Amino acid sequence: MNALISPERAMSASGPMIIAAKQKEGIPRQVGFHAHARGQLLGASTGLLTLGTAKGQWVVPAIHAVWIPPHHQHALRSHGPYFGWSVYVAESECADLPASPCTLRSSALLREAVNRAAVWSGDDLNAAQDRIARVILDEIRSLPQENLGLPLPMDPRLLRIAQTFADNLLDERKAGEWADWAGIPVRTLTRKFVIETGFTFTEWRQRARLMRALELLASGVPVTTIALDVGYTNISAFIAMFRRVFGVTPTRYMGSSAV
C-alpha cells in the first residue's frame, strides 16, 4: 500500500515495540493474502479500505482503523483515492490487544501519536518515543470497537451460499430456495447462520449490501446508482436501511468520514 517502510522490517519480529508509516494512494490498489509477524493497525484518513480474512470482511472508512493480530492472513483493497497510516506492533506487545480482527473508531490522540511515530528511524526508542509508543498501545486497547464487519459462516454449504450471494447482490432468492440450492434443510440454514455469523440470513444479506454500498460511496458513485447496484429498487428504503445501521444518511456518512 505504498507504505514508507520496507516489507522486511514490517515482517520482522525484532526491532522497536511499534513501527509506524504513512500511506498514500491516488488510485485503487489491491494486496493479496499475506500475514505479518507483527500485529498491524491500519487507519484511514481519507478514502476507504476493505480487509478480508478467511472468517469475514471488514470495511475501514475514514477516521476508523482496523486491527489485525500477528500471523493473521489478510488481503487489502482500497476504494478511490486513499490516504492513511499503519502501525506494526511487536508480537510481544500484543498479548492484551484484541485477539481477532476488528474495526476501531480512531481518536485524535491516536492519530497525532501515529503522526509523530511515523518519522522515527532506527530500532531503539528514546524515553519520549517510548511514552508515545505506549500511548498508541493504550489507545488500541481502549478505543471502542465498531461493528463494520461481515462475518462469514464456517459450514461449507452456508459459505457457498454467502459467497454466491456476495458475487451477485441482486439475487432475490428466499432462504428456502437457497437451502434447496445448497442441499441443506432450511431450518438448519436459518439456525446455523445465526450461530456462525451472529446475524439472521436476512440481516446478513442486508449487511453484505451495505458493506458494498460503503465501497461504492468511497469510489464516488451516486447514491441512487448505489441503491440499484446493491439490490434496492426503492431509493428511500435503501437510505432508511443505511441510516438504521450507521445512524446517518449515505451523504452525511461520507461527509463526516472526510473529517
Helix axes 127-142, 108-117, angle to 10 degrees: 140
The whole-number pLDDT of residue 2 equals 43
Asked whether 49 and 77 are in contact (CB, 8 A), the reply is yes
C-alpha cell, 156:
461449507
Q: For the beta carbon of residue 238, count every other beta carbon within 10 angstroms.
A: 22
CATH topology of domain 152-257: Arc Repressor Mutant, subunit A (1.10.10)
Whose CA is closest to 51, among 70, 28, 30? 30
pTM of the model as a whole: 0.74
Asked whether 253 and 223 are in contact (CB, 8 A), the reply is no
Q: Which residues pair with 150 in a beta bridge?
A: 57
The residues, ordered by sequence, that sit 6+ positions from 136 with a Cβ below 8 Å of its Cβ are 18, 20, 41, 87, 110, 113, 114, 117
188-231 pLDDT, tens digit per residue, is 999 999 999 889 999 999 989 998 898 888 778 899 999 999 99
Asked whether 192 and 175 are in contact (CB, 8 A), the reply is no
103-157 pLDDT, tens digit per residue, is 888 899 999 999 999 999 888 899 999 999 999 999 999 998 877 788 889 899 9
Mean pLDDT, to the nearest integer, of 158-175? 92
Look up residue 27 and give its DSSP letter. S
81-117 pLDDT, tens digit per residue, is 778 899 999 999 999 999 988 888 889 999 999 999 9
227-245 pLDDT, tens digit per residue, is 999 999 899 999 999 988 8
pLDDT range class, residue 167, cuts 50, 70, 90: confident
217-229 pLDDT, tens digit per residue, is 877 889 999 999 9
25-76 pLDDT, tens digit per residue, is 766 678 889 888 899 999 877 777 888 888 888 877 777 889 999 999 999 8
Look up residue 170 and give its DSSP letter. T
C-alpha cell, 239:
437510505
> Phi and psi for 18 in degrees, rounded to 5?
-135, 150
pLDDT at 20 over 90: yes
Domain positions in the chain are 7-146, 152-257
Task: Considering only CA atoms, give the Rg of the chain.
Answer: 19
3-state secondary structure of 4: coil
CA 150 to chain centre: 9
Q: Which CATH number fits domain 7-146: 3.40.50.2300, 3.40.250.10, 3.30.450.20, 2.60.120.280?
A: 2.60.120.280
